[in-house]
Homo-oligomer: A and B are copies of this chain.
Amino acid sequence: MEVMTLTVNHPRPKLTVAADSPFPYSGGSLLSVADLTLAEVTSILDRTSALESEDPLARAHRLAKRKIALLFYESSTRTRTSFELAAKALGADTTLVSSLSSSIEKGESLKDTGLTLRALGAEAIILRHPNSGAPWLLERVTLLPVLNAGDGMHEHPSQALLDLRTMLAHLRPGETRVNEQSLDGVTVTIVGDIRHSRVARSNMLLLPRLGARVVLCGPSALLPEVAAQAGPGIEIERDFARALNASNVVMMLRIQAERLAGLQLDLKEYIRDYQLTAERLAAGVPDAWVMHPGPIVRGLELTDAVADGPRSLILEQVSNGVAIRMALLERALGCGTSERHGATT
């Protein structure tokens, strides 16, 4: 795996909008939720609903025979499948390149893999990569729309959007536009391994902008004190019961066994202190919604009763993932296509 040193906040390439694009902004990439204005978020949510309710055979003409590459340097079920099914639902041809069976093994750099995919005809690239910032590099070298499907411990912006859609459906039913007050009075508590979580980071960047209060909860090994400085509207509460008491939404994160080596985390203590059980939920605010980006590990971060209980939105999140990603793919290919030549590095 190459080592990358890159400035994440480099100037973005200018991509112009196709005249008939339904999206009132330039640039089809989605690298960070921070790049989206709330007007853009509204557009995406609008298109999500429109595409979701469209007839499947009509929908299949939207991106008919357009070419979308999925470039996955880490394994994935739901994100990869979700993007793939979204692309196919719109009629696009997809091709999957994973690190298991590709030239990546032969030492090809991300830059060259990206340029190769562009030369192969890919009109957008969906990238999952273990290095934070990799999608910025990929967009810069390919000048293609890049959808960040998770970069290291950094961001997972489509996840934050699908999480937002899920919350809005239950907390603000019927509302289709978002603004700075949309989530006023809402407290979202994110619990667990915040340190390693790109899902947490993307939600922390998005939710406070809509007025939500974000409370982070977990032991210091998984939640460093500095996390509260990620932005306004973010607080730390280490006591799980106190955090639950004030929550409208409890977002549980997966304990990523593969990232715990050397963290000195006692799983038994973690379960004792932070596992979400039906009892804890009932003792806090019983009408809080439970979310989880998946895959869940039953009996660790949450119990069966919670995962399968009436307040769980976990599977709704998955469904919203396919819908949101249809809108993101349409957005990616609806603009910037006239600027596909002249990539330089």
Contact = CB atoms under 8 A, between A and B. Distances in A.
Given A294-B116, A298-B109, A100 B97 contact: no
A95 interface: yes
B64 A295 contact: no
B64 A77 contact: no
Contacts of A295: 103, 106-108, 112-113, 116
Given A93-B85, A121-B319, A294-B116, A105 B65 contact: no
A75 to B, nearest CB: 5
Contacts of A107: 257, 295, 297
A332 to B, nearest CB: 17
Contact of A77 (B67, B97, B257, B316): B97
Contact of A75 (B95, B103, B315): B103
Nearest to A74: B101
A88 B67 CA distance: 10
Contacts of A64: 56-57, 60
Given A103-B76, A107-B295, A295-B112, A89 B93 contact: yes
Given A119-B315, A322-B120, A95 B84 contact: yes
Interface residues of A, number: 62
A263 to B, nearest CB: 17
Contacts of A307: 112
A278 interface: no
Contact of A345 (B95, B117, B308): B308
A275 interface: no
A36 interface: no
B60 A75 contact: no
Contacts of A81: 69, 95, 97, 117, 120
Contacts of A105: 75
Interface in A127-169: none
B119 A319 contact: yes
A100 B100 contact: yes
A107 B295 CA distance: 8
B294 A103 contact: yes
Given A95-B84, A101-B100, A308 B120 contact: no
A102 B318 CA distance: 15
A65 B75 contact: no
Interface of A: 56-57, 59-60, 64-65, 67, 69, 72, 75-78, 81-82, 84-85, 88-89, 93, 95, 97-98, 100-109, 112-113, 115-121, 254, 256-258, 294-298, 307-308, 315-319, 321-322, 344-345
Listed from nearest, the 9 A-B pairs whose CB atoms lie closest are: A119-B318, A108-B295, A77-B103, A103-B295, A119-B315, A77-B102, A56-B65, A88-B93, A119-B319
20 contacts: A57-B64, A60-B64, A60-B65, A65-B89, A67-B85, A69-B81, A75-B101, A75-B105, A77-B97, A77-B103, A77-B104, A85-B95, A98-B101, A107-B257, A107-B295, A113-B295, A116-B295, A119-B316, A120-B318, A120-B319
